Structure 1
Amino acid sequence: MSLFDDPDALSDDELDRYARHIVLPMIGGVGQKRLKKARIALIGAGGIGSGVLPALVGAGIGHVTLVDDDAVSLSNLQRQWLFTTGDVGAAKAPLARRFAEARNPHVHIDAHGVKVTADNVGDLLTGHDLVIDGTDNFATRLLVSDTCVALGIPLISAAAQQLQGQIGLWRGEPCYRCFVGDAFDAEDCDTCAETGVVGALTGMVGNMAALMAIRLICDIGDEGAGRLHLYDGLANSWRAISIPADPACRACGG
């Protein structure tokens, strides 16, 4: 097969578009082709997702599956930069797809305006190289995590509240459930609507999740699976902690 028959070859437009990646020794043409072939599922188009999606699309991830069943509200606009004032009341998934397609026509976007449930999560995640979860409740996070464990798909889980952020890559043991256990969403559980969140923080954490994805796909450095990265916005500092595998975990244990 000649170079011109290579289905993964980068077009002239792509060579220009990704030039700042291609000149990096740790990415180069080989890494950019890996990004082009990658399939990533992004769960949630909220504050975290609004940081993740533009970065993935700009990086040239070949296929992004976006899942979000919510509609845009006025209070979202403080941190969800995929949307505009004129979008209030409209479904997020098709709007996010429109944003992504306008930003990079080389990226294929599948947008699903559905709630993640036990009945559909397997179909939504199967066939992806990586899942990024930016949702805001334990029920969805644990369902996504348990499914990733069962399917053998790496998971990046990211969250932000007030001035605190956290992000971690989970691959088998330990998994996200090893970290939070059988956590559940109590009726009196605090949410961003009640406690607040700085919009810039969600964008930063979302971008960090995208960077972690790019590093994983391009095999840059230590992937750091099983380490939780914590950001303290009051002190403007990061720290990382290792999460041990739980031998009794009902997702990955034993």
Structure 2
Amino acid sequence: MDLSFMQATLLTLLGGLPLTLHLTASSILLGGAGALVLALMRTSGIVLLSAPARAYVFVFRGTPLLIQLFMIYYGLGQFRPALQDLGLWSFFRDPYFCAVLAMAMNTAAYSSEIIRGGLASVPPGALEAASACGMRPLMRLRRIVLPLAIRQALPAYGNELVLMAKATSLASTITLMEVTGLAGKMIAQTYRAVEIFACAGLIYLALTLILTRAVLLLEWWLSPRRPRRQPAPPTICTTGEPA
């Protein structure tokens, strides 16, 4: 392998890293909000809410992300006149927005099941204690249920974050020049696939390492067994009276 070529390739591919990070962050934030709504709908016990959530999860977990991406970017283009009438064509003609929408909708389906598992793991005794203290349902959800559920779901959700970071490579199929898109462009110009894909893989490995370490740090911070800072003992004056 030509190390000087790989160094130049790595610097070129790093130019697509900001777009990769933007796609990852946007899809995770939007998908996380949607996942929480879907999980609450699934656990509501109301058929009118749980049934659409079940159908959504079934569809988006049962079809590949690449097909969903093509359906949104290429498929909706067939309805351009209707989208123009609704004022939505400027959104759906932009590949960035279509990629974010597809990935957010996909990760919302997977993450909702992770969050639902976390909600199911909340001990019933904690809910009974909160009710005995007079907490209303919304306060109980905010102060008891969600913190415990997030703590339980965080390890599995960390895997979903890594998968979404790598799934941004599919955005290159709709003309976005992120890391994989730049790699494909360079391969078409140089025909040196091994070195270029090796550099792209190193970038994704580094991104995955950062994400996994961040999740581990958050797990440690939320752990109930984390050592807490003890309050300092009161100082004693020379006269024998507490300060």
- TM-score band w.r.t. shorter chain: under 0.3
More helix by share: 2
The alignment's TM-score, normalised by the length of structure 1, stands at 0.23
TM norm structure 2: 0.24
Which of 1 and 2 has greater Rg? 2
- Determine which structure has the larger strand proportion and give its number: 1
